A and B are shown apart, each in its own frame.
Chain A
């Protein structure tokens, strides 16, 4: 079974902290891994996409890495801000299809 696990389920940090969100998957046959954020009651916003041939991607204060051998991806958020408060989801595709398999998300609260 292709499972994606995200730890922790919830995280509360003070503003300004650097933080790491974790995503692990059971099948190393990964094609793409994508990180999203979701605000309450809203759709998903794409943050970063890592193709299987890549090890990391960066966008502004965000950096995502992929380690296929260990079945892990991490999302690093530098200098967190209250506006970063949201649920962060990772999702993988296992082959060339477009079927995304999602983790259950990490709910992040950045306190002012």
Chain B
């Protein structure tokens, strides 16, 4: 079974631009979450989607948004990029059944903002 895939793997953008990252969950997984990882702040939760609905959102500005499609694939968008948005963006998927919330992560997208 294929794991969580994320595209692109690397991105270089300049301040003020916008970027869209894509995540394909493990087949059959309905929950997709996004995290930002930086050396200073560690791993921080961005948002979680289930059945095309955002169920939970972290403490990030409105420049960070996301969506989920009917096939459970998800995208996140960051508008008006800032230098501080440089980070590894990780996507995780979960089968989302009963009390088993085990989450499986993709390889991440490394975003560099110049």
Whether A98 contacts B107 by the Cβ 8 Å rule is no
Q: Does A83 contact B (CB under 8 A)?
A: no
The verdict on A18 contacting chain B, using a C-beta distance below 8 Å, is no
Pick from A59-67, A73-81, A101-109 the stretch touching chain B: A101-109
Most B CB atoms within 10 A — which of A36, A53, A98?
A98
A46 to B105, Cβ gap below 8 A?
yes
A90 to chain B, nearest CB (A): 11
The answer to whether A99 touches B48, judged by C-beta atoms less than 8 angstroms apart, is: yes
Which of these, A36, A43, A53, A98, contacts B94 with CB under 8 Å?
A98
Interface size bucket, B side? 20 to 34
In the complex, residue of chain A having the shortest beta-carbon distance to the beta carbon of B106:
A43
Contacts of A42 in B (CB 8 A): 107-108
Bound CA span A45–B92, Å: 10
User: What string of 1s and 0s marks CB contacts (under 8 Å) between B12-42 and chain A?
Assistant: 0000000000000000000101010000001
A89 to B44, CA, bound (A): 13
Cα separation A102 to B105 with both chains bound (whole Å)? 14
A24 at interface by CB-CB < 8 Å: no
Q: List CB contacts (< 8 Å) of B70-114 with chain A.
A: 88, 90, 92, 94, 96, 99-108, 110
Chain A CB within 8 A of B43 CB: yes
List which A33-88 residues lie within 8 A (CB) of chain B. 34, 36, 41-46, 49, 51-53
Does B8 have its Cβ within 8 Å of any Cβ on chain A?
Answer: no
- CB pairs A–B below 8 angstroms (23 shown): A32-B100, A32-B102, A41-B110, A42-B107, A43-B6, A43-B90, A43-B106, A43-B107, A43-B108, A45-B105, A46-B104, A53-B99, A91-B43, A97-B48, A97-B55, A98-B33, A98-B96, A98-B101, A98-B103, A99-B45, A99-B58, A100-B43, A102-B44
Closest 10 CB pairs of A and B: A44-B105, A102-B43, A43-B107, A49-B102, A43-B105, A98-B48, A99-B45, A97-B56, A43-B108, A32-B101
